[in-house]
């Protein structure tokens, strides 16, 4: 994301000044500061809740939570304690590998933005 911001702006000071404006909402919507269950119904988060789908912090935190607190053991039984933890964070139906693929997709998206911005600046 920093690479994309540095490609968008002409001056380093502008990119450095704009980075917190982009990063703070993405960090807030990562899931560890604000519970993501029902975020679209609460105000004032509901106005920027759509940004959580572009947050690498969200997918990284969700992958960590699902790997550290498994819902099912090897026999298929449910761990009620860890299921409660994931539900309280809003990650009850999230799969670990889906988060990894989402992070890879965001990486490709941000690199594509860099390519488009640099290509448009070259012309």
Per-residue pLDDT of 70-101, as tens digits, reads 777 667 777 777 778 787 777 777 888 999 99
Per-residue pLDDT of 3-49, as tens digits, reads 888 899 988 899 999 999 988 888 888 888 877 777 778 788 788 88
Phi, psi of 91 (to 5 degrees): -115, 30
Q: Give the up-direction half-sphere exposure of residue 21: CA atoms within 13 A in the CB hemisphere.
A: 6
pLDDT of residue 39: 79
pLDDT band at 112 (very low <50, low <70, confident <90, very high): very high
Q: Using omega within 30 degrees of 0 as the cis cutoff, is the peptide bond preceding 76 cis?
A: no
Asked if residues 85 and 52 have their Cβ atoms less than 8 Å apart, the reply is no
């Amino acid at each position: 994301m920093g690479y994309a911001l540095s490609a968008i702006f002409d001056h380093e000071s502008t990119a450095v000044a704009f980075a917190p404006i982009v990063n703070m909402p993405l960090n807030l919507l990562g899931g560890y500061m604000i519970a993501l269950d029902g975020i679209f119904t609460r105000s004032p988060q509901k106005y920027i809740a759509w940004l959580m789908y572009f947050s690498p912090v969200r997918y990284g935190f969700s992958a960590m939570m699902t790997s550290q607190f498994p819902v099912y053991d090897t026999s298929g039984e449910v761990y009620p304690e860890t299921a409660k933890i994931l539900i309280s964070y809003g990650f009850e139906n999230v799969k670990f590998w889906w988060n990894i693929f989402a992070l890879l997709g965001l990486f490709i998206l941000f690199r594509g933005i860099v390519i488009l911005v640099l290509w448009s600046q070259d012309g």
